[in-house]
């Protein structure tokens, strides 16, 4: 597997991110290795909160929360997924899959012997992290999620499936305004049909505007140009961007998609999960809105928990609602 490694100079003097890098080698699945980066802050003996980012962000997303959580007496581990941040970046779109991200993250988890952790995931951090938790339950004491899911394709009319496939294979690449309009879903189309706009735009945009895709959609605070540049820092040129481009298309939205069976197996674990399970979704996320209800209904450990419906914050609530989210997580860990 051919990979790229972002020069360390790209990460110098990033605003609000003074944390020392930590690195772990994991098998790439093709006979080689990949280097994964993570942040490790707080007392080494403190309770661990494992914070996982999604697409197209990296551990920089947690820069506001890390000092708040460590100040509450917690230890924060925040890895960068392969293809993101300071982690290595395979160079082909086809190098990335849902299963590979689960495998790489699991290898990182075991190499660092993470135990007794509270998992927190948002966006793809939840999709991947929940699979990791389900396959390694003995390493986690509790789970908290925000603006994420564990998707399993739902039945759709054949005509809708055919139209989604036709759109993805034949239509021109949508513009970002067209993507945002579709995600607003004024026509109330099925989610897979709406999400196909994001999948197609990411897959086909050779120079995906990562920083703008993050900071241009924030709710609750305005990002500085330097912060937008920090989200672009891992990607010196388009050849480094295959991870952010590829991963949306790995979400299993249609029957028979890869990882459908693996996600169903993970659900079978969570339907018996008795450990504490907390949701803290925002009330204005166009992608995951209402997704917390299925976890509250199906996970036994979610019963009786102080689930939170956060006012505002948009999709990337770690940016606009860092204080309230950090307090929710700190109280969740200390409740036992």
Active site (catalytic) residues: 123, 285, 315
- Asked whether 270 and 134 are in contact (CB, 8 A), the reply is yes
- Asked whether 150 and 263 are in contact (CB, 8 A), the reply is yes
- Asked whether 14 and 62 are in contact (CB, 8 A), the reply is no
Q: What's the helix, strand, coil split of the chain in %, to 5?
A: 45, 15, 40
Q: Is-cis flag, bond preceding 6, omega within 30?
A: no
* Dihedral angle, C-alpha 307, 311, 314, 316, nearest 10 °: -50
Distance CA(14)–CA(231), nearest Å, equals: 10
Distance CA(81)–CA(97), nearest Å, equals: 12
- CB atoms near residue 129 (< 10 Å): 30
Distance CA(130)–CA(140), nearest Å, equals: 11
**Strand pairing partners for 146?**
122
**Strand pairing partners for 40?**
77
DSSP string, 269-328: HHTT--S-EEEEEES--TTTTTTHHHHHHH-GGGTT---EEESS--S-HHHHSHHHHHHH
């Amino acid at each position: 597997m051919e990979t790229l490694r972002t020069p360390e100079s790209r990460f110098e003097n990033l605003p609000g991110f003074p944390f020392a890098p930590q690195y772990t080698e994991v098998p790439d699945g093709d006979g080689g290795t990949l280097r994964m980066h993570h942040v490790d802050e707080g007392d080494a003996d403190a309770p661990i909160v494992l914070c996982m980012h999604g697409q197209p962000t990296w551990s920089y997303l947690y820069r506001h929360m890390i000092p708040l959580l460590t100040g509450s007496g917690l230890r924060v581990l925040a890895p960068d997924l392969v293809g993101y941040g300071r982690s290595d970046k395979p160079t082909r779109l086809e190098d990335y899959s849902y299963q590979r991200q689960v495998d790489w993250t699991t290898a990182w988890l075991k190499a660092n012997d993470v135990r007794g952790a509270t998992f927190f995931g948002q966006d793809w951090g939840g999709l991947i992290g929940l699979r990791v938790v389900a396959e390694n339950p003995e390493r986690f004491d509790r789970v908290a999620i925000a603006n994420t899911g564990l998707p399993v394709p739902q039945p759709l009319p054949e005509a809708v499936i055919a139209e989604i496939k036709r759109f993805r294979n034949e239509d021109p690449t949508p513009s970002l305004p067209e993507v945002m309009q579709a995600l607003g879903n004024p026509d109330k189309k099925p989610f897979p049909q709406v999400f196909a706009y994001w999948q197609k735009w990411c897959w086909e945009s050779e120079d995906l505007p990562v920083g703008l895709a993050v900071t241009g959609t924030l709710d609750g605070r305005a990002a500085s140009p330097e912060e937008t540049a920090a989200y672009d820092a891992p990607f010196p040129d388009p050849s480094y961007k295959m991870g952010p481009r590829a991963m949306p298309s790995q979400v299993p939205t249609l029957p028979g998609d890869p990882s459908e069976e693996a996600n169903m197996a993970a659900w079978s674990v969570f339907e018996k999960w008795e450990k504490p399970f907390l949701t803290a979704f925002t009330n204005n996320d166009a992608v995951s809105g209402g997704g917390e209800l299925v976890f509250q209904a199906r996970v036994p450990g979610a019963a009786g928990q102080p689930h939170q419906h956060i006012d505002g914050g948009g999709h990337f609530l770690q940016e606009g609602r860092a204080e309230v989210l950090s307090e929710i997580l700190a109280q969740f860990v200390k409740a036992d």
